[in-house]
Amino acid sequence: MSISQTSGNAPAGGRAALGALRKVTASFAVILTTLLGLLVITFVVGRMVPADPVIAVIGDQADHETYERVYKEMGLDQPLYVQFATYLGNVAHLDFGQSHVTKHPVASDLARVFPATLELATLATIIGAGFGIPLGIISAVRKGTWVDHLARIVGLLGHSTPIFWLGTIVILVFYAKFGLIPGSGRLDVYNEGLVEGPTNSILVDAILAGEWEVFWDALLHVAAPALILGYAAMAYLSRMSRSFMLEQLRQEYVLTAKAKGLGQRAIVWRHAFRNIRVQLLTIVTLAYCGLLDGTVLIETVFAWPGLGQYLTSALFFADMNAVLGSVLLIGIISIAINLLSDLTYRFLDPRTR
């Protein structure tokens, strides 16, 4: 390579590096702005809630002097912008405050409850995607047949049935009536405390500890709520998958492949399916994010000790430190999942690189 070629390539490489740096900086700025906006809205709305956080801490029987002292200790006598600035300063040092309900640091509470929600949402997404995507594709390929009509009915029922109602029916029928599923919670009483691991995920920690009895007990407990959430996710994913596949099957390259004598299976899975992978990844990501921050109802029905139940309790008692910490965690996880999906897009579709 000549000197002139080397000098000519250097500025191009520098421009590429500068462009990549600008993209990273812009993405980082968008993430910070999103999280800041999320905190501002939650903080302001939380202060507008009629519940009194001081009463939640000291009770309604405390005298006025105690009320005033706790009111000042909690910093509620300061202007709203000062309270928010103080909170942001603490968050910058990874201090999310103390929960007024549990009396524990919010960070430790979130580390305890979030793995339960992560277990539930992950299994539900696997169930929803594992059944919903193939069902939607088969429905598109068999458009107008009884298979298509049955798949659409199943999807419609899953999309329109309230989750809390379905969960209540499952408990009444399969637990109270027939005893086919275990009760509420993550484990039976005799298995609680047997496994304590670094992840706070009962399934993972039981495998690491070799406690297979605890693992199967935890799996049985998570099965019912995961299947209900997975059914709701399956209804959404099957409907979208059917729509994506129908659009591809109308394309000219499909007609060309048929004219060349290519079999239907090869056309659908080797060509059409490859063209909808990015779209499928998008809807699976959206479904997963929705399950992570939308498990409140199912966690309440099954007394599942996850983030949804923790956030509901915090809202009920006006525990704003716990509410803000939970909202911030949900925002961070959602952004991280979307960034991961963007990276996967680049791997699946070279046109986005």
Domain ranges of the chain: 3-92, 106-352
**Alpha carbons 307 and 221: distance in angstroms, whole number:** 17
Place of tokens 């942001």: 88
Residue 16 has pLDDT above 70, yes or no: no
Residue among 214, 233, 236, 225 at smallest CA distance from 309? 225
CATH architecture of 106-352: Orthogonal Bundle (1.10)
**Alpha carbons 62 and 47: distance in angstroms, whole number:** 22
Question: Percent of the chain scored above 90 by pLDDT?
Answer: 20
Residue 63 has pLDDT above 70, yes or no: yes
Best mean pLDDT range from 223-237, 257-271, 332-346? 223-237
pLDDT score at 130: 93
What is the distance, to the nearest Å, from the Cα of residue 335 to the centroid of all Cα atoms in its chain? 10
Q: Identify the sign of the CA torsion 49, 54, 55, 60.
A: negative
Q: What is the mean pLDDT of the chain?
A: 84
Residue 149 has pLDDT above 80, yes or no: yes
Rg (CA), the chain: 26
Residue among 145, 141, 139 at smallest CA distance from 263? 141
**Alpha carbons 46 and 40: distance in angstroms, whole number:** 10
| 3-state SS class at 105 | strand
Around Cβ 351, how many Cβ atoms within 10 Å? 7
Residue 323 has pLDDT above 60, yes or no: yes
Query: Per mean pLDDT, which range of 17-21, 95-99, 199-203 is the poorest?
Result: 17-21
For residue 105, what are the β-bridge partners?
Answer: 98
**36 token code pair:** 């800041």
Task: Give whole-number Cα distances, 294 to 115, 117, 184, in Å.
Answer: 15, 10, 19
φ, ψ of residue 95 in degrees (nearest 5): -110, 105
Cα 160-161-163 angle, rounded to 5 deg: 125
Residue among 350, 224, 234 at smallest CA distance from 283? 234
- Classify residue 122 as exposed, middle or buried by CB count within 10 Å of its CB (0-12, 13-18, 19+): middle
pLDDT score at 353: 56
**Alpha carbons 302 and 305: distance in angstroms, whole number:** 9
φ, ψ of residue 305 in degrees (nearest 5): -80, 65
What is the distance, to the nearest Å, from the Cα of residue 278 to the centroid of all Cα atoms in its chain? 19
What pLDDT, in 10s, does the model give residues 183-197?
788 888 888 878 887
**35 token code pair:** 């999280």
C-beta separation of 217 from 253 below 8 A: no
pLDDT score at 223: 92
